[in-house]
Chain A
């Protein structure tokens, strides 16, 4: 299946783009997507500090992904 990664904050800078398309196996989880992203050396060190969301829901690494999901990569926040 294909999903869309949306990078936020510093991860967009590290990824070189705000969006990236990932191809995963049908039963893939968020953890599988993270594992694939870890092959990008620029992102690898930041990913353990990130949270993840599908749509407007925070999701855990064991969350199952579906075709067409948009997975947000949320680095440490700094509002206010």
Chain B
């Protein structure tokens, strides 16, 4: 049994809503719901940050994030994984990304969620420009898409015993 697909964009200019992701992924066979929310913080590498602007290649993002969701479901054998990311200007405390995973048990839900978030950060064509209190800004140095993403060892496999 699979929740009904919802019509949504993985890249959104409006404030992100968690509720539609939860409703769309509800399943009676999943006892674990793992959610990651990434919020804008007011500092980076020792410097105060006033706000951010995210830009994204939306069409390519949609394709790459869909692939990350599918990989996550297959690799960790979790039935549901959804990821959305916001673009535009975000203030301190605003949510930039939600990732939702549902699984029968918590062990695979935690592992899958971390893989989904790390893979999105490393592979989705999204750029973060930080703005500082003096009005200056800079793009955050990130990960080269061209290098590919090799997940760290702890994300490659599940714990041997999945507890309930």
Contacts and interface: CB of A to CB of B under 8 A. Distances in A.
Interface in A5-48: 8-10, 13
Nearest to A14: B139
Contact of B142 (A13, A72, A77): A77
A17 B1 CA distance: 49
A8 B63 CA distance: 17
Contacts of A78: 121, 126-128, 139-143
Main secondary structure of the interface of B (DSSP, over half): mixed
B60 A79 contact: no
B139 A80 contact: no
A10 B96 contact: no
A47 B90 CA distance: 28
Contact of B126 (A10, A57, A79): A79
Give the size category of A's interface with B.
Answer: 20 to 34
Contacts of B141: 76, 78
Nearest to A52: B146
B126 A53 contact: no
Given A58-B145, A79-B85, A80-B96, A10 B139 contact: yes
A77 B96 contact: no
A80 B63 CA distance: 17
A58 B67 CA distance: 13
Contacts, number: 84
A13 B123 CA distance: 21
Contact of A9 (B120, B123, B139): B139
Contacts of A74: 57, 60, 125, 145
Contacts of B62: 56
B144 interface: yes
Interface of A: 8-10, 13, 49-51, 53, 55-58, 72, 74-80
Query: Top 4 closest A-B pairs, CB basis?
Result: A79-B126, A78-B142, A9-B127, A51-B145
Given A78-B127, A78-B141, A79-B97, 16 more contacts: A9-B139, A10-B139, A51-B145, A55-B59, A56-B60, A58-B60, A74-B57, A74-B60, A74-B145, A75-B142, A76-B141, A77-B127, A78-B128, A78-B140, A79-B54, A79-B128
Interface of B: 38, 54-57, 59-60, 62-63, 85, 96-97, 117, 120-129, 139-146
